[in-house]
Structure 1
Amino acid sequence: MYPLQRLWHFPIDMWNRLPLRIDLPIPYLQIDVVFVNDPDQIKILREDPACGRMHQVPSGQQPGWAQYFFRGTRFHDVTHDDWFVAMEGQQGNTEYEQRREQIAACLKSEWYTSDDVSKVAELLKSGASDEALAEAMVPIINCRFLQGHTPIPGNIAQDAKRMLVSPVDILKPGVYEKAVAAGKTVIAFCTASGIIKGLKEVDVAHNIGAAANEVVKTLTILRNNAACEDLDELFTRSENTPTAAVPRVALAASKFGGLLSYPARPGKTVFFLNISKAAGMERSLFWTFGTGVPERSCPFKPFAMSFLKDVQHHIRPQAT
């Protein structure tokens, strides 16, 4: 399809209320991205076998921009060409459920302590920085993924914070190079420390990054809303969800039931499912921690909500 024809689809898609599609035929770096906000449209893609997780397309066959971006994130271990479990293709992947179950088991087998709760609560009450919160939360959550519960030093937590979160971060001077270097450091630490059997280094590295970034974000929101009566509702507000979007990739030249005005390009069209907006529209924690259904809920959901509610008990303003 010629560039002018692609441009013509912008107003047509807007008129028909189809997802925003940015299809730029840049030489050697073609960008074909679809932003999907509506929960019902996300559900269509979620159930369609022509749309899959990123690693259902081999890393080297993904769009050039995606290869470049994910190299600086905690989702892809370039050294071993491994992807975080939630990005792995499920079709024909017998390892997927085993890794997911192992992550859930690690989060259940050894819960947090009252001292952990008190420590974080005191940091919040004192107005501690994000860096200090990250250094506190990473050991609480992530030691359980390492053999012998190896202590996780503060510099690893800070490196985890430097990894890319959004493609927009690539545009910030010097950020990308630091993110790639930080990712290598975190992966090397996981390798040297010995990870729990059944996981991969990238699973542990991802969860360190999640603790250093998303969990710290939720704690800051909690501090600012300490008197909130309903934390489940608080963390389904679009602006408060820890993860804004999750990517999926087209596996076939499909229009996905009319969601696209012209077919996707297999392996090249990437969908960003804006689950934060879906959470805000449906007020469900299964969007905050997943893609809307209990069976695909993030294993971290029970841990996170329980910990947040216990911390709130310590920082909630006392009635006078």
Structure 2
Amino acid sequence: MLDIISFNPFRVKIPFLLDIIIISDSEQIKKIETSGNVDRLHTYDTASLPWWAKIYFRATRFHDSKRDLWFCALESTSNPSYEQRRAYLEEKVATGYSEADVKRIAELLNKNAEDEVLAYEMVQIVNHRFFEKEIPSTITKAAENTLQSIGEAILPWKYIAATKAHSQVIDYCAENLPDNVHIIDAGHHNIGEVVKTTTGALRTLKNNLDKSVEEIFTSNPLTPQAPRIAVKESNFDGLLSSPTIPGKTVFLFKIGKAAIETQDINFTFSTGSSERACVFKDFFLEFMKDLQQELRQTKSQS
């Protein structure tokens, strides 16, 4: 039977089938995250993860079920490959962007270019450092169709389109990235992130030139939620009326809501601290600040 245990936090538990806890409160997120009782999803082998997680993530930019690969942010730090993969991403991101990149995006925004055009150009700026060549528009278009939220997975036509798009993008990455590069970390995730998130962020920036970049992207966060999985049994000092089940209970941290509530940029890029923040955090903020300045200048000259 359906067992809704509590509403703050909200938990849906169907014995032997489903156990999801949704956390929106910023202090609760930080408490659970730092407790040592939860970890990233792929701390468990893919085969042992909850059934719904396997179904959902195989149609997203975070996982490739064919090759059993997961995005770096969903790996536990105990994974032997984690440190090397993170270091590679940091090294590549540190190459930055050019003034011409900023001016090109500003020009497109001022011309009210379509999202598809903006997405294509931003993908080149972000992903050329990994592929060392232009990513075709067929791939940037396909990336738009991968799943962004769990709710989308219940729509059969959307799920089918997402799995098809996922295969198209991941196969392109496998064929065009160097052999020693993780195709989710450097390829599929970054392409999808730009297409599905950054493009909208560009328009949000243009519409808020009078505000600081940090204020804009705490009020309009980029990532709505971050999953964690229980690794120890716990009720978190009475926060839950019944304990978590290791390997079965999944938390969905609503970091987007927490960012809005706290106006803390660390919730936009992480779970309330700088630890394991998005590797593109500094790149994103600096690019947006330079872009904002360029847009202000062109606006004053018009």
The normalised TM-score by structure 1 is: 0.88
Q: Out of 170, 179, 189, which is 2:162 matched to?
A: 179
Q: Across the two proteins, how many residue pairs are aligned to each other? A: 299
Is 1:133 equivalent to 2:118 in the alignment?
Answer: yes
The aligned counterpart of 2:213 is 231
Superposed, 1:151-190 pairs within 5 Å as 151-190=134-173
Structure 2: gaps (5+ residues): none
Q: What secondary structure sits across from 1:247 in the alignment?
A: strand
Q: Aligned partners of 1:78, 1:271: CA distance in 2, in Å?
A: 21
Note the C-alpha offset of 1:314: 2.4
Q: What secondary structure sits across from 1:35 in the alignment?
A: strand
Q: Out of 36, 45, 58, which is 1:49 matched to?
A: 36
Q: What secondary structure sits across from 2:141 in the alignment?
A: helix
The aligned counterpart of 1:20 is 10
Q: What secondary structure sits across from 2:144 in the alignment?
A: helix
Is 1:255 equivalent to 2:235 in the alignment?
Answer: yes
Q: Out of 72, 83, 108, which is 1:123 matched to?
A: 108
Letter in 1 for 2:107: E
Q: Aligned partners of 1:130, 1:292: CA distance in 2, in Å?
A: 30
Q: Aligned partners of 2:76, 2:202: CA distance in 1, in Å?
A: 31
Deviation per CA, 1:99-118, whole angstroms, max 9, x where unpaired? 11111110112x21122111
Note the C-alpha offset of 1:182: 1.1
Q: Aligned partners of 2:49, 2:154: CA distance in 1, in Å?
A: 20
Q: Out of 98, 110, 116, which is 2:84 matched to?
A: 98
Note the C-alpha offset of 1:252: 2.3
Note the C-alpha offset of 1:295: 2.6
The aligned counterpart of 1:87 is 74
The aligned counterpart of 1:283 is 263
Given that residues 145 and 196 in structure 1 are in contact (C-alpha distance below 8 angstroms), is that contact kept between their aligned partners in structure 2? no
Is 1:191 equivalent to 2:174 in the alignment?
Answer: yes
Q: Aligned partners of 2:111, 2:168: CA distance in 1, in Å?
A: 31
Q: What secondary structure sits across from 2:21 in the alignment?
A: strand
Q: Aligned partners of 2:238, 2:200: CA distance in 1, in Å?
A: 36
Letter in 2 for 1:138: V
Letter in 2 for 1:169: E
The aligned counterpart of 1:77 is 64
Given that residues 150 and 193 in structure 1 are in contact (C-alpha distance below 8 angstroms), is that contact kept between their aligned partners in structure 2? no
Deviation per CA, 1:251-298, whole angstroms, max 9, x where unpaired? 122212222110112212110001111112222211111112123221
Q: What secondary structure sits across from 1:67 in the alignment?
A: helix
Q: What secondary structure sits across from 2:13 in the alignment?
A: strand
Letter in 2 for 1:104: E
Q: Aligned partners of 1:75, 1:257: CA distance in 2, in Å?
A: 32
Identity score, percent = 37
The aligned counterpart of 1:272 is 252
Q: Which ranges of 4 or more aligned residues in structure 1 deviate by more than 6 Å? A: none
Q: Aligned partners of 1:50, 1:267: CA distance in 2, in Å?
A: 11
Q: Aligned partners of 1:34, 1:311: CA distance in 2, in Å?
A: 38
Q: Aligned partners of 1:62, 1:140: CA distance in 2, in Å?
A: 35
Note the C-alpha offset of 1:206: 0.4
Letter in 1 for 2:195: A
Q: What secondary structure sits across from 1:235 in the alignment?
A: helix
Q: Aligned partners of 2:148, 2:216: CA distance in 1, in Å?
A: 22
Letter in 1 for 2:244: A
Q: Aligned partners of 2:118, 2:156: CA distance in 1, in Å?
A: 26
- Pair 1:154–1:185, CA change in 2 (3 A): same
